[in-house]
A and B are shown apart, each in its own frame.
Chain A
Amino acid sequence: MRKLLQSEENKGFIFLIIFLLFAIAVMALLLVNYDSNGEEYKVSVIVNNARSSRWDNLRAGIQLALADKNVDINFVTSDVYGNINIEKQLVEKEIKNGADALIVELCTSADTQEIIRSASDKVPIAFVETSAEAPKSTGKSIGFYTADNMQLGRDLASLVFEQNKDGNMTIAVLAGNQEMNSMIDRLSGFDEIMGEYGLKDFIVYEGSEINFEESFNQKELIPDIIVALDSELMENAVTWKKTNENNEYGKVRIYGIAASNANLKDLDNGYIESVIFVNDYEMGYMAATGLMEKLKSPGSDLEDGTSSYIVADREGMFDSENQMILFPTNYLIK
């Protein structure tokens, strides 16, 4: 070889051959990786009560983003109700079972550094619905996909105020899981605007579940307005309203933040006055798209995303501009 390289002519020839071999390797690599759907990915979606229709749009958005990408999507229900340790075990179990990426709804936004650090070291994770405390070092492997919850709370307050300007009103706010940043922000935004309107005396009920009978009927507290900051609480409020259709409690006006078809049906049937509908479809689409890009290019950053929302009432919910967001068609087309 050394003898070969001693000649200038041979040197040039050998370098040309090496260059050609390199170019052939590059082209072969491009061909192998071209539109490569060969690699199969497993993405696990861990959300509280995964069977709930509340997640239909999120699920549809995820499925749309991962369609034709050779991805096996596994929906896992957490039902951990604020217990971050159990959720951590669930996440670790999914990773152990071969999940390449995770989409997770955290049950709390506090004390989440450990779960985020340990999981994001292994797979990229998209957190939906709520932000949380995250260690700085995991920036590239995690992304938060939520609505602008503070603004959402503000808009909801404005909506309630605009439609109920007359007289003193008793407002009950179902604030949901106040360990989640999203719910904290919604309440803060709502509180901020109501304060500006001079309506600070609303009653706040925290927790994912409310016993309406205990909270209202037994205490003979008849709220004029119930504001639900989360979809399932609003469904529960409507159920309670229906059971009290023939008494004073049946007259309560319900507002809230909606995400499910049940909420829309209740809106269409007049049980709910107006809703702010969070585009979970977009949230799921963004989270899944971000994860796919991360899986395809591990060096890339997983960027945070903010999903949109619309205000809908009974009259406007079927307007052509709202229809596509409220009633996604991808299950018809795909």
Chain B
Amino acid sequence: MNKEIFKKLYKKYQPKSIQIMLLVSFSIAAFVSMITLTIVLYSNFENRSRNVSVATGTWMLENTEDDLNRFLDNMRQVSSSLFLSVQQQTEIDSEKLLNEFSLLYRATQNDVISIALFEANGNLITASPYDKLKEDSDVTKQDWYINTIKNPGKILFSTPHVENLFSYSNDNFSWVVSLSRTVIFTKGGQTRHGVLLVDIDYASVCRIMTGINDTGLNQYAYLCDSDGNIFYHPENMEIALRKYNEVTAGAGKNAAGNYVQNIDGNTYNITVSDIDYTGWKIVSVIPYIRLAGSSSYVRYFVILILLMILLAILIMNKVIAARIARPIRMLTTSIKNGTVTDTSVPRIYIGGSSEVRYLGNTLQKLLDQISVLMHSILIEQEEKRKSELDVLQSQINPHFLYNTLDSIVWMVESGQNKEASFMITQLASLFRISLSEGRTIIRVEEEMRHAISYSNIQKARFKNSFTIDYDISDEIKDALCVKLIVQPILENAIYYGVKGMEEEGHIDVRAYKDNDDMYIEVEDNGYGIPDDILENILTETGRKSARGSGVGLINVDSRIKIRFGKKYGLIVTSELDEGTCVKIHLPYIPYTEENQKKYEKIITE
């Protein structure tokens, strides 16, 4: 079924010319090559682009990681420095500590919001730059404090939070990362535990992270705690507003390393790194879809280039195909436009490649031969008709001559010398025109004289049992006419029309011009011709069923057509008991020597 449909479709859409075949073939070949090349190059470009992006991203991540570790290490050193200051004092001295805290704060104030030392019960020993806690402030309830107490001896980094310990003079609230550790000091001669706090400005952490997120590369990085909870993200607020969802959020739970994950149909290159001592993780994400090779922009660009090349290929192929196919098209056109006749042969296009030239030459020879053959056939046909006419005339003449001479003898014997003399004169005229010096084309006047002579002889023979009128227009008397075309028709009108009629038979012979044509009509009021005979009277079928000189009609018709073309010839109309009219249709051609010679030779198709 499918095969049939395919066949039908192929038949319907198969290329109909060699040019289209060439165009389609060239275009398909070029397009397939181009697509293959593009896919290979694009794939290569995509891989290279991805590798470069991943390498650059990894390098950026390592730099950021180093920056962050360096920064946090500095903060740890600040904390350690404070720790040593506290430890070195045999008895805690708030004033002295405040000086040291203030000094260190001033040195680090770009990155530090506050420094403070608390007793284990939450009482503030000293702090810088603020020395007073907010009213009702309870440090022991703060998460970072609780964690520090739970982990004595460890340096802990909290996740970012809003600092809410001290009273500020302005309306600002600071986001901080609390760096805290337990500390042992002596107060009032007793060893006591406390907590040392360095509130790091979270903006400093953000600045370091902004470095990797603002590179313009298709990479972003976020920070999360060891449980994978994100606390820094370039789209932090969008996440808070639920306008953005980090699809790789779970990646922070993974151990440090590089992962390629497919999430919701998109592939991500995820690199997880641990930040020293903090329990934080930095997660770098490179969505492949954003990479140069994978982006829609590059795809649009590649498709655009492909389309433009395809357009150029099509136009070029069209030109090339037209150039290659041109000689064949011209050859075909020259064959289509020309018609081979016995007298003319179309000139076949001979050009282009040697193969096409050979084809053209061969065709031309063939057509020339066909024309020669056609001409020979026509000449043979004419010769055949001539011989037929000659046979017919040779059949008629002795019989006609015998009857005429018999009539003349009878006239002489009965003393009708005058009538006998007229008969002999008419007979002589008849034979003179019949001979016509061997011409086939004579004047209408001569042809009509021949007809009149014939009719006069027949009228005498049949004792004027019929009448005959001639109405010959003067303007056609000097026109060309095929010899002996009226006499056979008259003979038919006499023998098969009016002969033996009870009433008086009558024949009208009219000859006249109509525009560029002329007509000779022979109309009798005789018996008429039955329809079945009339129908085929001028055909080969009619020839077989024709009686006697009925053969003459067909001969006359053929001879006219051979000379003047198929447009001309006989038109026979008849009605039973009413009569028959035979109309001879001829072109009006003035009789000149030149025309006579021309039509004497011409034999049309």
Contact = CB atoms under 8 A, between A and B. Distances in A.
A333 B210 CA distance: 7
Given A9-B19, A31-B301, A327-B162, A268 B237 contact: no
B307 interface: yes
Given A13-B318, A261-B171, A330-B237, A24 B304 contact: yes
Contacts of B297: 31, 34-35
A196 interface: no
A135 interface: no
A270 B135 contact: yes
A155 B310 CA distance: 67
Interface stretch (B238-246, B417-425, B440-448): B238-246
A332 B202 contact: yes
Given A320-B161, A325-B240, A27 B304 contact: yes
B429 to A, nearest CB: 65
A285 B241 contact: yes
A249 B303 CA distance: 76
Given A64-B238, A332-B203, A269 B134 contact: yes
B300 A324 contact: no
Given A27-B300, A318-B164, A327 B173 contact: yes
Given A9-B19, A27-B300, A17 B314 contact: yes
Q: Which of B19, B20, B307, B318 has the most CB of A within 10 A?
A: B307
Contacts of A21: 311
Interface in A109-147: none
Contacts of A326: 162
A324 B172 contact: no
Given A9-B17, A332-B203, A323 B162 contact: yes
A282 B241 contact: yes
Contacts of B20: 9
B315 to A, nearest CB: 7
Contacts of A20: 307, 310-311, 314
B3 interface: no
Interface in B113-171: 134-136, 160-162, 164, 167-168, 171
A332 B206 contact: yes
B234 interface: yes
A99 to B, nearest CB: 25
Contact of A31 (B19, B23, B161, B304): B304
Interface residues of A, number: 43
A329 interface: yes
Contact of B172 (A61, A261, A289): A261
Contacts of A265: 168, 171, 173
A198 B19 CA distance: 96
A130 to B, nearest CB: 21
A332 B16 contact: no
A27 B209 CA distance: 37
Interface residues of B, number: 45
B296 interface: yes
Given A53-B171, A270-B135, A333-B206, A16 B314 contact: yes
Nearest to A330: B237
Contacts of A323: 161-162
Q: Which of A27, A264, A265 has the most CB of B within 10 A?
A: A27
A86 interface: no
B296 A270 contact: no
B296 to A, nearest CB: 7
A21 B315 CA distance: 12
A274 to B, nearest CB: 15
Contacts of A268: 134, 164, 173
A203 interface: no
Interface string A228-266: 000000000000000000000000000000001110110
Contact of A23 (B134, B234, B307, B315): B307
A221 interface: no
Contacts of B307: 20, 23-24, 27
A31 B301 CA distance: 7
Nearest to A322: B162
A24 B308 CA distance: 7
B599 interface: no
A30 interface: yes
A60 to B, nearest CB: 8
Q: Interface majority SS on B: helix, strand, loop or mixed?
A: helix
Contacts of A329: 160, 175, 202, 206, 236-237
Contacts of B315: 17
Contacts of B164: 268, 318
Interface string A83-110: 0000000000000000000000000000
Contact of B16 (A9, A260, A262, A314): A9
A328 B236 CA distance: 9
Contact of B304 (A13, A28, A289): A28
Contacts of B243: 285, 289
B236 A324 contact: yes
B173 A333 contact: no
Interface in A133-176: none
A200 to B, nearest CB: 34
A267 to B, nearest CB: 11
A323 B160 CA distance: 10
A281 interface: yes
A326 B240 CA distance: 11
Nearest to A323: B162
Contact of A34 (B135, B206, B300, B311): B300
A269 B234 contact: no
Nearest to A24: B307
Contacts of A327: 162, 173, 175
Contacts of B162: 318, 323, 326-327
Contacts of A8: 16
A199 to B, nearest CB: 29
A268 B135 CA distance: 9
A28 B551 CA distance: 84
Contacts of B240: 324-325, 328
A325 to B, nearest CB: 7
Interface string B294-325: 00110011011001101100110010000000
A330 B236 contact: yes
Given A17-B311, A20-B310, A329-B237, A262 B161 contact: no
11 contacts: A9-B20, A20-B314, A34-B300, A260-B171, A268-B134, A281-B241, A285-B237, A289-B243, A323-B161, A329-B236, A330-B237
Closest 9 CB pairs of A and B: A27-B304, A324-B240, A261-B171, A330-B237, A332-B206, A265-B171, A20-B311, A318-B164, A332-B203
Given A13-B314, A28-B304, A289-B243, 19 more contacts: A8-B16, A9-B16, A17-B314, A20-B314, A27-B303, A34-B300, A35-B297, A53-B171, A61-B237, A64-B237, A265-B168, A268-B173, A323-B162, A327-B162, A327-B175, A329-B202, A332-B202, A332-B203, A333-B210
